[in-house]
Amino acid sequence: MSEIRESVHGQWSSRWAFVLAATGSAVGLGNIWKFPYITGENGGGAFVLVYLVCIAIIGIPIMMAEIMLGRRGRQSPMNTMRTLALEAGSTPHWAWLGWMGVLAGFLILSYYSVIAGWALAYVFRTGIGTFDGQTADGVAHIFQSFLADPEGLLFWHTLFMVMTMLVVARGVSGGLEKAVKFLMPGLFVILLILLGYALSTDGFGEGVTFLFKPDFDALLFKVGEDGVKIWNPGPVLTALGHAFFTLSLGMGAIMIYGSYLPSNASIARTTFIIAGADTAVALLAGMVIFPIVFANGLEPSAGPGLLFQSLPLAFGHMPWGAFFGTLFFILLVFAAWSSSISLIEPAVTWLVENHGMDRLKASVVMGIACWAFGLLTVFSFNVWSDVRLLPMFETFADKSIFDLLDYLTANIMLPLGGLLIAIFAGWVMRTEATRDELDMGEGLAYRLWLALVRFVTPVAVIVVFLHAIEIINVG
C-alpha cells in the first residue's frame, strides 16, 4: 500500500455522488448537441458502430486509468502526475501531461460556454413561442440570425460562464455535488418523453435506420474531384476523438474528480456505469433527433446547428410544444452546466494548491480568462467568420476559429492525452500500484485492463494519428 493521501479540496460524500458527478461531466452537449450532428456528417450507422467500439476498447480502459491516477494522487492533474511519476521512480516531467489536459479543458470550455449559451437563449425563445408554427426554413433563419448577432452571443456566453464559476467557487460538496444531484435523472426523463414523440413521426423508421444501419462505404471513402473513391480516415479519427470528448477523457476533469473519490469505491464498476449512461444518452438523443430531421425534410449533415434547427421545429408543431421544448432546453443547459464545472475545476485546483488562492479568487481568475478566450468563438460565427488561423495546412484551411478549436481539442489533444495516460498507467506505474488502486486482484479482469492500456489503446490511437498526419499537408 502507498501512503494515504487526502485531497485538500474535499471528497464526494459517496460513490454514487461521484457517479453522478462524473456522469454529469460526461453527459452534456457532447451527447445531445455534438454526437447527432457528427453522426449525420459521417454517414450514420457505421460511424456509430466505430464510436461504440472506441468507447469499449479505448474509452473505458482509459477512464479507469484516469480515475485511478486521480484517486492515487489526490491533487490537481499537474501535481498528481509529478507525485505519481516520482513514486514510480520516473521523471517529474510527466507533470506536462497534467498541463496538457488542463489546457485542453480550458480551450474546450471557452467554446463550450458559447454553445451552452445557445441553449440558454433557446430556453427563452421556446418558452415565448418563437418557433410555434414555423417552417424548417423559418427555424433555420432564426438560428442564422442569432449567430450573426455578436452582442447576443456575448451576453449568453457571459451568463453561462458566470453560472459555471458560481458552482465551482462553492467547492466539492457545497457546489459540484449539489449541482449534479438531480439533473441527470431529469435529463433521461425528458429524452424518453421526446423519444415517445419521435416514435409518432413519419421519419422514425428512416431515422433509426440511418442511426443503426452501417454503411462502411460512406464511412471509409469519399468521392474525389475526378469521381474516384478515395480512402478517407477522417470519420474514424472523429469517432475516436468524440469517444474522448464525450467521456471527458484527457482533459483533467475525470482525474480531478477521481481525486475526490472515496478509497473504498470500485473504480471498475463506477466506470462502466458512467460509460453506459453516457452512451445511452447519446443514442437516445440520436433516436430523438434523426426521426424529426427526416420527418421534416431536414439534412442530417446540417452541422453544429442541427440540434437548434430540428428540435425547435418539432416543438413548434407538437401539442404542449412550448412547455416540453422549454423544459428540454433547461435540462440541456443543466447537462452543459454539469460538464462545464468539470472542465475548469482542474485549473482552479492548481491555483489553490500552487498559488495559495482561495476557491473564490481562483474561480474568478480562471473564469475571466476562459470567458475572454471564448470571445474568439463568439466572433467566429459573425464578424470573424472568414478568419482562418492555419490556412497553410490543407486540413485546417477551411476551418473557422470555432471549428479549429473543436478539431484540435477533440481530435488531437484529447486522444494524445489519453495515449499518454495509457502509457503512464500501463508502463510507468508499477503493477503493484495499479492493482492496489483498482482493487481488481490478479485475475482476468485486471490482466485484460492491463493488456488494453499497454497495447490495444496505444496502438489504436497511434494508427489513427498516422492517418491524420497523412491528410495534413503543408500547402
Query: What's residue 81's pLDDT?
Result: 95
Residue 188's H or E segment, with its range, is helix 183-199
By residue range, what is the domain housing residue 454?
15-470
Q: Are 279 and 52 in contact (CB under 8 A)?
A: yes
pLDDT digit string (tens) for the chain, length 475 residues? 445 667 666 676 777 777 878 888 888 777 887 888 888 888 788 889 889 988 998 889 999 999 999 999 999 899 999 999 999 999 999 999 999 989 999 999 999 999 999 999 999 999 999 999 888 889 989 999 999 999 999 999 999 999 999 988 887 666 677 767 777 777 788 888 888 888 988 889 998 998 888 877 767 767 666 666 777 777 877 787 788 778 888 888 899 888 888 888 889 998 999 899 889 888 988 898 888 888 877 777 777 677 788 778 878 887 788 888 898 888 788 888 888 988 998 999 899 988 888 989 999 999 999 999 999 999 999 999 998 887 777 767 788 999 999 888 877 888 888 889 999 999 999 999 999 899 887 889 999 999 999 999 898 878 766 665 554 443 3
Q: How many domains does the chain have?
A: 1
Say which residues have a Cβ less than 8 Å from residue 74's Cβ, sequence separation at least 6: 5, 6, 7, 80, 259
CA torsion 239-241-247-251 (nearest 10°) is 180
Per-residue confidence (pLDDT) for residue 272, from 0 to 100: 93
Q: Per the domain annotation, does 227 fall within a domain?
A: yes
Residue 144 has a pLDDT of 92
- Per-residue pLDDT, 466: 65
CA distance linking residue 59 with residue 45, whole number of Å: 19
Question: What phi, psi does 221 have (nearest 5°)?
Answer: -130, 155
* 340/109 Cα distance (integer angstroms): 6
Rounded-to-integer distance, Cα 129 and Cα 139, Å: 12
Could you tell me if residue 6 is inside a domain?
Answer: no
461 close to 418: Cβ distance less than 8 angstroms: yes
Interacting residues of 145 by C-beta distance below 8 A, sequence separation 6+ = none
Residue 8 domain flag = no
Establish if 475 belongs to a structural domain: no
Is 143 inside a domain boundary? yes
Return the number of other C-beta atoms located less than 10 Å from residue 15's C-beta: 17
Q: Is 45 inside a domain boundary?
A: yes
Quick: pLDDT tens for 91-114: 999 999 999 989 999 999 999 999
CB of 107 closer than 8 Å to CB of 408: yes
Residue 10 lies in a domain: no
pLDDT in tens, 188-235: 888 888 888 889 888 899 989 988 888 777 677 676 666 667 777 778
DSSP string, 108-129: HHHHHHHHHHHHHHHHHHHHTT
CATH code assigned at 422: 1.10.4160
For the residues of 383-401, what is the DSSP string, one character each? TTTT--S-TTBTTTTT--H
Strand partners, 231: 221
Euclidean distance between CA atoms 4 and 264, whole angstroms: 13
**Domain for residue 221, yes or no?**
yes
